[in-house]
Amino acid sequence: MTESPEEARAARLLRLYPASYRREHGPEIAAIHAEAIRDAGRLVRLREASDMVRHALRVHLCLTSADGPGRFLAAAAPYVLAVVCAPALFGVLMNSTLWADDWTAQLWADGGRTADRVEWLVNECVTLACALALLCGAAGRWAPARLLAVFGVVALPVTTWVFETDYLIYHQYLDRPLAATSDILYPVLIALILLCCPADLPPVRVRDRTVIAAVAVASFLTHTIAWVKGSVGETVWTTQALWMTEILAPLAVLVVFLFAALARGGRSARFTAAGVVTAALLWLWRDHRLLDTAPYGGLLAGTLLGAAVVAAVVVRLRRRAPSSNGPARS
């Protein structure tokens, strides 16, 4: 029996999958693909073929919802998005209050540098994109949330590399190669975590949305408190205030959710715990890049996260204790 053109295309695309996966799921995938492109236009065929190629790549990399790495990314994604984008809410408030600042007026005067203007515009767009990513994530709209977050993480360093090439070459790549490498790897790693999250396992559960909302609110409140203290006469944006807002607010929320996940237990507890730890590490990395306080933050994070793990283990052991004593005597 001669196969149709749709079946022939599906058979060629199936070669992209691993042999074991192809033997188990090949006929089903080929039938679905052939049905999807039957009597379809060229654009539809290209889209279906690209979807099949992406899925085959995920299977090779073990990034599907049935694989451990894929489930880890799904568990880590909401925590990572929350930690990375949390300061943006306060940034939107500050940008709106400083819109008529003298520096801004000078920037847009006739003598302002084009590079400074572009970087300022990108910075405004990045802040707004990260704030919208938080709102979309808290509302359960994961697809726009991760795209906005990736734009917010990648756009600003790319703009800096483009418009400040001389500075990067002579002061970062030569004088501080480790710092330059860190600045490059940080947005790349964030983007990979958010974009490689399995499409059929989006983090839109109530717990995921609560994580994003809680971290955003905690960060916004602590930043606002520090700003208000400065407006009434205390030193604004001191090192201590920045350290408190950047470290303690997200850390407190991460500790609570880590304890809740491990105390509850279940099959997904270890993935949730790994996701919390990953977000904490990325948050410390961000703290080190911005404030250079990673040694103190690392000690504090390790202590509190370790305490949450120990407390959760104690709670689970206490829950199991009555059942291990056997039936009660009559």
Q: What is the pLDDT of residues 106-148, one digit of tens each?
A: 555 555 566 667 777 777 888 899 999 999 999 989 999 999 9
- Averaged confidence pLDDT in the chain: 78
The model's confidence at residue 86, banded by pLDDT at 50, 70 and 90, is confident
* pLDDT on residue 132: 93
The model's confidence at residue 236, banded by pLDDT at 50, 70 and 90, is very low
Across residues 159-168, what is the average pLDDT?
62
CB atoms within 10 A of CB 118: 13
Q: Residues 277, 306: contact at Cβ < 8 Å?
A: no
* pLDDT on residue 19: 87
Across residues 56-62, what is the average pLDDT?
90
3-state secondary structure of 101: coil
Give the residue carrying structure tokens 């590079």: 115
**Does the pLDDT at position 218 exceed 80?**
yes
* pLDDT on residue 126: 87
* pLDDT on residue 171: 56
* pLDDT on residue 281: 85
**Does the pLDDT at position 300 exceed 70?**
yes
* pLDDT on residue 329: 46
Q: Residues 58, 52: contact at Cβ < 8 Å?
A: no
* pLDDT on residue 115: 63
Across residues 160-168, what is the average pLDDT?
60
Lowest mean pLDDT among 22-36, 180-194, 241-255, 282-296: 282-296
The model's confidence at residue 1, banded by pLDDT at 50, 70 and 90, is very low
**Does the pLDDT at position 234 exceed 70?**
no
pTM of the model: 0.80
* pLDDT on residue 79: 92
* pLDDT on residue 101: 55
**Does the pLDDT at position 2 exceed 60?**
no
Q: List, for residues 309-329, the tens digit of each pLDDT value.
A: 899 888 888 887 665 455 544
CA distance 215 to 37: 44
Angle, in degrees to the nearest 10, between helices 177-195 and 142-163? 160
In DSSP notation, 132-153 reads HHHHHHHTT-HHHHHHHHHHHH
| Domains in the chain: boundaries | 5-60, 62-320
Q: Residues 152, 129: contact at Cβ < 8 Å?
A: yes
Q: Is the dihedral of CA 117, 163, 82, 307 positive or negative?
A: negative
Across residues 283-298, what is the average pLDDT?
65
**Does the pLDDT at position 294 exceed 80?**
no
Chain-centre distance for alpha carbon 120:
24
